[in-house]
Amino acid sequence: MSFNLFKAARAFTAVASFSVVASLGSPVVAETAWKPSGPVNVVMHTKPGGTADIFIRTLAQSLEPMIGQPIVVVNAPGAGGATQMAHVSQAKPDGVTIGINTMSHFTSMLTNLKGTFSVDDFSWIASTQEDPIIYFVRTDSEIKSLSDLVAKAKASSGTINIGGFGPVGSMQHLGTAMLESAAGVKFNWVGFDSTPDIMTALLGGHVDVGVSNLGPTAPFFESKRIIGLGVLGEKRLNGLPDVPTFGEQGYKVDTSWVQVRGVFGPKDMPLELQQQIADAIHEAMKAKTYQDYARSTGVIDSWMGPKEYDAFVRDVSKIATKQLEAAGLLQ
C-alpha cells in the first residue's frame, strides 16, 4: 500500500516538476549515458524523513530529468538494515533497483548480520557524501578541548559519559574507541537511538560529551549552546572552521573513519553500467538544488566511482574489523 502511494506520489511529482520545468522554458538538461529501462527503485533502510532519505529525495529532483525516468523511493526499514539489503540483493543487476548505504551497513555485516550478508553480496557503485563525526560539549562545560577531555578522563578513570548514536560497536562508538586507544584513556559510552535524543541529553546535562554530524548540530553551534572539541577527519569542516581535527590536537586516528552515504546494487552488475550510474548520480549532484541542500546540511560531496568505492568499502571493513576486535566485539 505504502509502495503504491509512494509510487503515485513520486510519479505525480515527476510529472508536476516536469511540467514546471517545461513551463519555465526548459533549462539545459545534461544527457547521461545511463538510460534505465524503467522507473528506478531506490531502496532505503530508513523510514521516510531520515537524513539518508532526504538525500535521495533531493537528488531525485535533478537526476530524474537527466535519466528520463522517475525515481521511486522505496522505504524498507527494519531488521537493522537487513530488510533493505535483502530487497537489493534479490533484484536483477540491471540498475533499476539500487540502494543507499551508510557506514552502518559495513559494521552490521561484521556483527549482527554476519553470515546473512557480506560485502561480496553487493556491487558498490558510488560514494556521494562524506560526513565526518564531531565531538562537542555544552558551552558552559569545563571541558574546552580534546586535551581537557583526555585529562579529565584520566583523572576520573572512565567516568566521562559520551553520548552518541547506536549501541557499542556502532560507527560513532568505534570512532570513540579510536580516540580511546590514541589517547590511552577510557570513556563511558551511552548509546542513543536518534540524534535529537543525543542533543536533548547533552543540553540537559545528562551526558558530558556528544557525538554527531554537522547537519543536525549546526544550529546549536550557531546559537552558541555547544562548542566543538574536535573533528574526526582529514581536514577541518568548512561549516565549522574553528574546530580543529583530532590530528591537529595530537591524537592520531584513522581519518577515513567518516560517515559515508553511497549507492549500491545487487552483485554481478556490469562494471560499465555501474560507471554509468555513478556518473549520472555525480552529475546530478552538481545541480543547484542539490548543492544548496548539501551546503546547508554541512555534508561533503564525495565522488568515488565503482572501482574506488569498492576498494574503500573493503578498506573500511578492515578498519572496522580491527576496531571491533580491539573492543572485544568479534568472536
Partner 1 sequence: MIENLLSGFSAFGDPLVWLSLIFGSLVGYLIGAIPGLGPSLGVALLIPFTYGLDPVVSIVGLVALYAAAEYGGAITAILINSPGTSAAVATAWDGYPLSQQGKAGEALLVSIVTSGIGIFISALFLLFTAVPLSEFALRFGPGEYFALALVGLSLVVGLAEGSVVKGAVAMGIGLALATVGLDTQTGTPRFAASVELFEGLPLVPVLLGLYALSEVLFLVEEGVTAKIKSAPLGGWRTWNWKGLWSLNGVVFRSSVLGYIIGIIPGAGASIASFIAYAVAKKTSKTPERFGKGSIEGVAASEAANNAAVSGAMAPLLALGIPGSPTTAVMIGALMIQGIQPGPLLFSRNPEIPYTIFASLWIGVPVMVFIGLAGARAWAHVANIPGPAIAAIVAGICLVGAYASEGTMFPVYVMTAFGILGYLLRKLQVPLAPIILALVLGEMMETNFRRALITSHGSLEIFYTSPLTVALLLTAILAFALPAVGFIRKRRRAAMAADPSV
Applying CB under 8 A, among 112, 145, 255, 275 the residue interacting with partner 1 is: 112
| 204/213 Cα distance (integer angstroms) | 19
Element (H, E) at 226: strand 226-232
Q: If binding is defined by CB under 8 A, does position 113 make contact with partner 1?
A: yes
Q: If binding is defined by CB under 8 A, does position 166 make contact with partner 1?
A: yes
Q: Which of 97, 100, 95, 26 is nearest to 65 (CA)?
A: 26
Count the residues in the chain: 331
Cβ proximity to partner 1, 161 vs 321, nearer residue: 161
Applying CB under 8 A, among 42, 63, 82, 183 the residue interacting with partner 1 is: 82
Q: If binding is defined by CB under 8 A, does position 147 make contact with partner 1?
A: no
Q: If binding is defined by CB under 8 A, does position 141 make contact with partner 1?
A: no
Q: If binding is defined by CB under 8 A, does position 201 make contact with partner 1?
A: yes
CA distances from 31 to 60, 65, 164, 231 (A): 15, 9, 42, 38
Query: Minimum CB separation from partner 1 for residue 120, in Å?
Result: 18
Cβ contacts of 103 within 8 Å, gap of 6 or more: 171, 258, 259, 260, 316
Q: If binding is defined by CB under 8 A, does position 56 make contact with partner 1?
A: no
Q: If binding is defined by CB under 8 A, does position 27 make contact with partner 1?
A: no
- The span of 127-135, 205-213, 276-284, 312-320 binding partner 1 (CB under 8 A) equals 205-213
Q: If binding is defined by CB under 8 A, does position 77 make contact with partner 1?
A: yes
Applying CB under 8 A, among 167, 252, 256, 271 the residue interacting with partner 1 is: 167
Applying CB under 8 A, among 47, 92, 252, 318 the residue interacting with partner 1 is: 47
Q: If binding is defined by CB under 8 A, does position 20 make contact with partner 1?
A: yes
- The span of 30-38, 127-135, 161-169, 254-262 binding partner 1 (CB under 8 A) equals 161-169
Subset of 255-314 contacting partner 1 (CB under 8 A) = 289, 292-293, 296-297
CA distances from 222 to 12, 114, 139, 212, 215 (A): 38, 41, 12, 15, 12
Cβ proximity to partner 1, 6 vs 249, nearer residue: 6
The CA dihedral of 129, 44, 117, 312, to the nearest 10 degrees, is -10
Query: Minimum CB separation from partner 1 for residue 147, in Å?
Result: 23
Helix (H, G, I), strand (E, B) or coil at 70: coil
Burial class of residue 206 in the structure, from the number of CB atoms within 10 Å of its CB (0-12 exposed, 13-18 middle, 19+ buried): exposed
Helix (H, G, I), strand (E, B) or coil at 304: coil
Q: If binding is defined by CB under 8 A, does position 114 make contact with partner 1?
A: no
